[in-house]
Chain A
């Protein structure tokens, strides 16, 4: 329930970025904000239920870290609401990176991590393949929250009337080129590893990420609807990675190879928002929302070649890290 709440928060947050890009909302009260705070309410109820359930179970120690991280995340999430409202009231339209947004995203990430720890322990405890797909619900909110955090550190959407929190363009490109490949392979392998590489778990996680991204970043912008088939081509490396893990029995070299493939695919998976990050350095055009495909496809071949090596390396680092994190959670 907590994970589902955070999933709604991340969907609302991602939709809010696109809404700011397209419509320039003038008030705090907008549909994406409504979805976001409904998600906060559901996550809060989930955390409260988890806390009181935890108090009456015998194996308290096993789920203690999960509960504590979730509670800390929820405290930040709840605090971010009024903070955001006050910020909007005083400084008008805010950018992507602002103190209340950073508080919100950190809260989302911590709550999602707390939920993931709990769900992973639950999957281990049940030791039943029917529960393996719960890892999708555990990983997706983390993937989306961390994507929001990384976008905040790389997109030039934070220059407002009162503050300019835009990242330096060179830093943004370097950061995006290492952070996103890492995140893609880390999250996908994490979802698969806890299910002992059961075929389908990695693919479903990747598919749902693409669905959420297309619903929040592509569908609201009618000028770029024609890119949806292109966007879902990213399922090819995701399903291929899942198949490879199955065929080669998650042998160490094959896992590293999977990491490289997933890392190298990040440019397609993070369409359309990365257009704005790389445009700052490569073409420096004014990217109106309807021009996103033209700008993206004008530079994407060059960006792919430039970022290929760091993306593959970070993809490999991502899978190594994912295996360690998974082992640590399940061993504790």
Chain B
């Protein structure tokens, strides 16, 4: 065998050795040290009225934005702790999330503690989950719901948003507030329903 032939073979073998080293050892170590993506959801919530007569309706508008890295899923949850097991009192007026909103009934198994579904609880009150997937940075979505409280009194609505993957507190909104049945923070919006 001539020297040129052997040199060519050797060159190919070295190239293959470099491929396997880079692909399965050097590159993985570099990538693995990179930090995870952090989606940062924020909400802007408005109520059409803070006070209504019994039998009247009010409208809740929610504008959600992802101000962080791309999210695989961004969920906006609007929950109704004063409603029983039906959502007859709630009507979605419009939404532009990429997925159809999901109605959660009392007793449904839902995720908890920002675990992405690894930890679950049974829902204690109904809610609506609007969500898009995926959600690039800067994406804005809206959902508008019309609510007719069934009886006089203070009618509370819990609103929150979660970006997935969720590795840090920055990936949920709000950062402060009360904990709901999923042990996740919510903002409370109240409407007084006069008799």
Contacts and interface: CB of A to CB of B under 8 A. Distances in A.
Q: Do A and B bind each other?
A: yes
Interface of A: 22-24, 26, 221-223, 230, 233-234, 236-237, 240, 243-244, 247-248, 261, 264-265, 267-268, 286, 288-291, 293-294, 296-298, 300-301, 304
Given A222-B70, A294-B36, A296-B28, 20 more contacts: A22-B134, A23-B98, A23-B134, A24-B133, A222-B134, A223-B134, A236-B16, A237-B16, A247-B5, A286-B116, A286-B117, A288-B165, A289-B134, A291-B36, A291-B72, A293-B31, A297-B27, A297-B28, A300-B24, A301-B28
A240 B24 contact: no
Given A22-B134, A223-B37, A236 B31 contact: no
Nearest to B132: A23
20 contacts: A230-B23, A230-B27, A233-B22, A233-B23, A236-B16, A237-B16, A237-B19, A240-B12, A240-B16, A243-B8, A248-B9, A261-B16, A288-B72, A290-B69, A290-B71, A293-B31, A294-B31, A294-B36, A297-B27, A301-B28
A231 B5 CA distance: 30
A265 B16 CA distance: 10
A304 B133 contact: no
Given A236-B18, A237-B16, A304 B24 contact: yes
Interface string B1-29: 00001001100100110111011110111
A301 B32 CA distance: 11
B81 interface: no
Interface residues of B, number: 37
Contacts, number: 92
B72 A290 contact: yes
B15 A236 contact: yes
Contacts of A244: 9, 12
Given A22-B134, A237-B19, A290-B72, A298 B24 contact: no
Nearest to A230: B27
B174 to A, nearest CB: 23
A237 B73 CA distance: 37
Nearest to B98: A23
Interface in B116-142: 116-118, 133-134, 136
B100 interface: yes
A234 B37 CA distance: 26
Given A264-B20, A286-B116, A297 B32 contact: yes
Contacts of A261: 16
Nearest to A268: B23
A226 to B, nearest CB: 9
A154 B118 CA distance: 23
A254 B183 CA distance: 62
B168 interface: no
A244 B9 CA distance: 7
Contact of A286 (B8, B70, B118, B134): B118
B9 A247 contact: yes
A248 B13 CA distance: 13
Contacts of B117: 286
Nearest to B30: A297
Contact of B12 (A243, A290, A298): A243
B104 interface: no
B24 A267 contact: yes
B164 interface: yes
A296 B5 CA distance: 38
Contacts of B94: none
B136 A222 contact: yes
A286 B31 CA distance: 18
A69 to B, nearest CB: 36
A288 B32 CA distance: 16
Interface string B162-177: 0011000000000000
A233 B22 CA distance: 9
B100 to A, nearest CB: 6
B134 A290 contact: yes
Nearest to B136: A222
Contacts of A288: 72-73, 116, 164-165
Contacts of A300: 24, 28
Contacts of A304: 20, 24
Nearest to B18: A236
B142 to A, nearest CB: 19
Contacts of B32: 294, 297-298
Interface in B76-115: 98-100
B118 A290 contact: no
A262 B18 CA distance: 15
B59 to A, nearest CB: 26
B41 to A, nearest CB: 15
Given A24-B99, A230-B23, A247-B5, A290 B165 contact: yes
A294 B70 CA distance: 15
